[in-house]
Structure 1
């Protein structure tokens, strides 16, 4: 066994795991539900048109358009949503955590803290209590559950874990911190469709969001040595864009949670990328090699809140789609799973599959992670990838494998239709080239309004 740190802070990610549910929703699933429960209307047609041009091929979900939860006369209540979150979501979080524990070669008893996040449930005790119980963590484990951080939740959890780890280091104590993000978003589809029908607003949350659980384990390097790190956490930057709390949010409603979104969001997030990166580099840049100074020098793990978020980042930072290859691939294959997406992207980035699409064939040793959340909050971090065997998935995990349990069996929970619960074949990976992106937004007259809507209405 080797020491689990090779940096100034001594903070290392030693295990990662992502778990997607078995159903892969195509765009026609949303149209099916809309036609089943609502009459045609201009707003509904606009949303369904946008749904065909998001760049998402499939969205991961705990069910399909035939699931009982979304087929009652009325949309499900918060109580109904919570019951499904617990029955179908918590097992995903347990499986993702087990993957991270297995890679870290840690026993559950060695976990000292749990930092969790979700924006699709709000019960007390939180879901982290039940994940800890299922994993068999010690009753003395210190738990923190973050709320109100939305899509930035994954990196907010990592930042919180880092500060806890440094606090334990100051006290001379080991910290092995499990960070867990869990989102069950697709169950909100009926509520969103009802809002579209009643308000005639163009609400595209039902087009983008998906379900996922993901986990990382952060070590502070104190105590018994563990396996070599997968990534080293070098530093982070957190900020709030002033006077933007009404621009992006997620409000409680009797029928779930409602996205609060203004047309200014894409522009606001685009404008903050360069100053946030500059501040991060002011902290960690002096300790980096001379070849890592500008944005294109790094690989980027950008939260894929929407296609516009990624394309705006390319233009602003002067990077290519290949720099964000794992972000594009997760977005295309699984959609936006809110807080759980970023750990999945960071995990996928170090796969051999993604290495084959590195810009100019050169994988970057340093990676910038970035996500946006309500507030508007901006989370950014700097990671150093272990370029040895520990930094690469061997063999690389495929999307099919990511949707299976630890023992490699397909999910055998009781879906409404047993055939719907079977894992669909994984879609072969394709380089996220400009041609591919242009293909999803062909400039026909009928689609021009779709492109305009996607440019001005986006979710992070």
Structure 2
């Protein structure tokens, strides 16, 4: 073919935008369709959309046209990210995890479609799509690929001039200095240590906090050979640890924001692999994104759940997937890769899952694949599902920064929650300490995401669903009470000291010895008699209300009712609570308990007078 000078002229920016809003949108729709199919979802199931690109700045964003072509509901909540470059894939995943966590806190399902698309930016064109679901949205048909344990973003100080893209007449002109690989590599170890530290200081420290880098598979954004070599050396890894990044670097190259998602897809198709995975990417700023994930194992199924299929465009020969020799040497192409450092995330995201489908257009090729995350609960067989955890499995609830001890003066403006106790109750519920919203309301379990009052009703402990304002009627109407180990309120239990908890436990025993309830519920089943609460310590026998020797209150442990604890579905929690509800009902019948309606009504009057 003869090339002319006109052929060498770059297309104008309006031409590039038109290409992106036609070809790019179609490519993204293809990826999203595959992601939804693999996730066993339909368009109407999607509650949120998080999209990312740096290829086009026109408004409305391309996410709108993708949503319209997919037939998503007009009310779907959309978020569009721009200006994050090669870090965009994980940045979008992190944003989705936050949304999933926030929905979990409110007790709502979240099915978040995440997609990234880039055309005419770097060395290949690509679109990747995935679905992020929280615990309320995952059904039995889904099988997660990864469980996201922790994620974060960090900015490397004084590096904004190292990587940038500026709008010029013919599009975006990228500036990438020769120092970018070195800076990017230097940010990996500090970011990894930060995530491990966060995992280690959480309320439920993860064994991953002690796992060395070589204990993980690594999905590193393949911005260039210098980055891959530098990361391997800095983290003491082998080619096997970064095998998926090597494959994509050799066979596809850097596609900007979708690339790390493509690497994750490649990794999950490479056999069983290590149980845990670190994904990291870099973008302008310099910014580094990183997340630590855990593979969801499904021993009843062969891994991976689906193969990467390449479909060809007319006139383009079919290309078979390629494997990269693990010991192959890397040669540095004539390009300086992209990669940056970090900005802070939002704390621990637990119990989220992540599934993903990737569609790539390169040399006329389109490809689709699937990822899956895990947790104790089955989630999604789709391309990517995150379970938080949490959280971006990121219950669940919105991702929060890890708490540390808070002096009582921080919440001195809030009053302690009053105990609801009287002698010889059938059971007393025990919490750790009141939350901020509960203390502000002055009534037990007042946060709208807490399932306490709902579970009392569904398990048969109450004959109707009470409101938090009716908490003081529990003794009169149901022969039940409520107390806490520590009286003072806080955001969560991590803000309490060990001394406070120890002292609270002693006080709790004293309360049970004084009031002698038959049983206590510590929000999985009956505990041994040695765990009974309120036993006399002086060796002297005390008598219960029936004149028998008092041997302490029986302990029944159920699930937490907090909106933060979303590792179990509401139905699973209810199944654990029901046996206790049946026991309490039988005890009420045996005792001949008669609700004291007048007393409960008086409580309501006094409450109204107080307000």
Q: What TM-score does the superposition give when structure 1 sets the normalisation length? A: 0.68
Contact 2:221 2:281 in 1 (8 A): yes
Q: How far apart are the structure 1 equivalents of 2:258 and 2:320?
A: 20
**1:281-330 deviation digits (Å, cap 9, x = unpaired):** 11125644379611110001111111111111000000011111111111
Q: How far apart are the structure 2 equivalents of 1:364 and 1:373?
A: 27
- Which position in structure 2 is the counterpart of 1:301? 219
- Which position in structure 2 is the counterpart of 1:331? 249
SS state of the match for residue 325, structure 2?
coil
The alpha-carbon deviation at position 271 of structure 1 amounts to: 1.1
Residues 1:291 and 1:119: Cα distance change in structure 2 (over 3 Å): closer
Q: How far apart are the structure 2 equivalents of 1:307 and 1:172?
A: 45
Q: How far apart are the structure 1 equivalents of 2:134 and 2:87?
A: 23
Q: How far apart are the structure 1 equivalents of 2:150 and 2:62?
A: 28
- Which position in structure 2 is the counterpart of 1:426? 320
Residues 1:320 and 1:367: Cα distance change in structure 2 (over 3 Å): same
1:135-154 paired onto structure 2 within 5 Å: 135-154=70-89
Runs of 4+ in 1 over 4 A off after TM superposition: none
SS state of the match for residue 371, structure 1?
strand
The alpha-carbon deviation at position 37 of structure 1 amounts to: 6.2
- Which position in structure 2 is the counterpart of 1:239? 154
- Which position in structure 2 is the counterpart of 1:122? 57
Q: How far apart are the structure 2 equivalents of 1:306 and 1:235?
A: 26
* Structure 1 spans left out of the alignment, 5+ residues: 1-31, 39-70, 187-204, 356-361, 405-409, 413-418, 442-449
- Which position in structure 2 is the counterpart of 1:392? 303
- 2, 9, 17: which one aligns with 1:82: 17
Q: How far apart are the structure 1 equivalents of 2:179 and 2:225?
A: 16
The alpha-carbon deviation at position 394 of structure 1 amounts to: 3.8
* Structure 2 spans left out of the alignment, 5+ residues: 340-611
The answer to whether the aligner puts 1:253 opposite 2:173 as a matched pair is no
Q: What TM-score does the superposition give when structure 2 sets the normalisation length? A: 0.52
**1:113-149 deviation digits (Å, cap 9, x = unpaired):** 1100001111111111111111111100001110110
Higher helix share: 1
Contact 1:322 1:431 in 2 (8 A): no
The answer to whether the aligner puts 1:91 opposite 2:26 as a matched pair is yes
The answer to whether the aligner puts 1:365 opposite 2:279 as a matched pair is no
Residues 1:224 and 1:181: Cα distance change in structure 2 (over 3 Å): closer
The answer to whether the aligner puts 1:220 opposite 2:99 as a matched pair is no
- Which position in structure 2 is the counterpart of 1:346? 264
SS state of the match for residue 339, structure 1?
coil
The alpha-carbon deviation at position 98 of structure 1 amounts to: 1.1
**1:315-349 deviation digits (Å, cap 9, x = unpaired):** 00000111111111112111111001111111121
Residues 1:122 and 1:384: Cα distance change in structure 2 (over 3 Å): same
The alpha-carbon deviation at position 268 of structure 1 amounts to: 0.8
- Which position in structure 2 is the counterpart of 1:23? none
Q: How far apart are the structure 1 equivalents of 2:317 and 2:21?
A: 21
Larger relative contact order (Cα-Cα within 8 Å, sequence gap ≥ 6): 1
Contact 1:180 1:215 in 2 (8 A): yes
Q: How far apart are the structure 1 equivalents of 2:147 and 2:208?
A: 19
Contact 2:127 2:258 in 1 (8 A): yes
Q: How far apart are the structure 2 equivalents of 1:241 and 1:291?
A: 23
Contact 1:231 1:391 in 2 (8 A): no
Contact 2:200 2:209 in 1 (8 A): no
The alpha-carbon deviation at position 262 of structure 1 amounts to: 1.4
1:279-318 paired onto structure 2 within 5 Å: 279-285=194-200, 287-289=205-207, 293-318=211-236
Residues 1:79 and 1:164: Cα distance change in structure 2 (over 3 Å): same
SS state of the match for residue 165, structure 2?
strand
Q: How far apart are the structure 2 equivalents of 1:394 and 1:348?
A: 12
Q: How many residues align?
A: 334
- Which position in structure 1 is the counterpart of 2:493? none
**1:152-197 deviation digits (Å, cap 9, x = unpaired):** 00000000011111111111111000110000025xxxxxxxxxxx
Q: How far apart are the structure 2 equivalents of 1:308 and 1:285?
A: 31
Residues 1:393 and 1:37: Cα distance change in structure 2 (over 3 Å): farther
Q: How far apart are the structure 2 equivalents of 1:124 and 1:179?
A: 19
Q: How far apart are the structure 1 equivalents of 2:219 and 2:104?
A: 28
SS state of the match for residue 229, structure 1?
coil
Q: CA RMSD in A?
A: 2.3
Q: How far apart are the structure 2 equivalents of 1:322 and 1:308?
A: 17
